[in-house]
Amino acid sequence: MSVLPILTLGDPRLRLKGQPVDSFGKYLHELIDDLTDTMRHAPGVGLAAPQLGEAVNVAVVEVGGRLLELVNPRIVRADGDDRDLEGCLSIPGFFAYVTRAEKVWVVAQDRRGKKYKIAGSGLLGRAMQHELDHLDGKLFIDYLTDLETELIPVGRLEEQGMDEEEREALARRG
């Protein structure tokens, strides 16, 4: 288990699509442990394998003390709209308002290959959508039409005095 460097914007490996996982052995278990350690160290609420340079369909999400190991995850249902501040560990120092589904249902496998289904709304739902995007080579800035005005530097939030929601957003990166 190790804390590894997180790739940042501009690294082409962030744009690779994750390959399906069909082997549930040592490589996968070490990758999940490294993702978990690196996410907690950052700290963040999620981390996907492409952010560590591994183009495989594996991510972790931890919200409210519950760690989810997402292997080969896919969204099977989505409901509603939710617009909120969001950040990414691969785009340090910036946030933006991103509209996502309010609630999603995800089917995934755990590290042993066992299938499970999880529903998430609020931060959990947002974190799962953010991490699944990473597995598709997609970043939250791809939802913005004008980076210049929509991307908010953390410094600007701090200068203007952050409200509760913005302070919380600092812990909402994945």
CB of 89 to Zn ion, least distance (A): 6
- Going from the C-alpha of 72 to that of each of 26, 100, 136, the distances in angstroms are 17, 21, 11
Strands (E), 58-162: 58-63, 66-79, 82-87, 94-100, 103-109, 115-121, 152-153
Residue 18 sits in the site that holds Zn ion (CB under 5 A)? no
Number of CB atoms found within 10 A of residue 115's CB: 10
Whether 131 is catalytic is yes
Task: Considering the complex, state which of residue 112 and residue 142 has its C-beta at the smaller distance from Zn ion.
Answer: 142
In the shown chain, the binding pattern of residues 33 to 72 toward Zn ion, with x for contact by CB under 5 A and - for none, equals: ----------------------------------------
x/- mask, Zn ion, residues 68-107, rule CB under 5 A, reads --------------------x-------------------
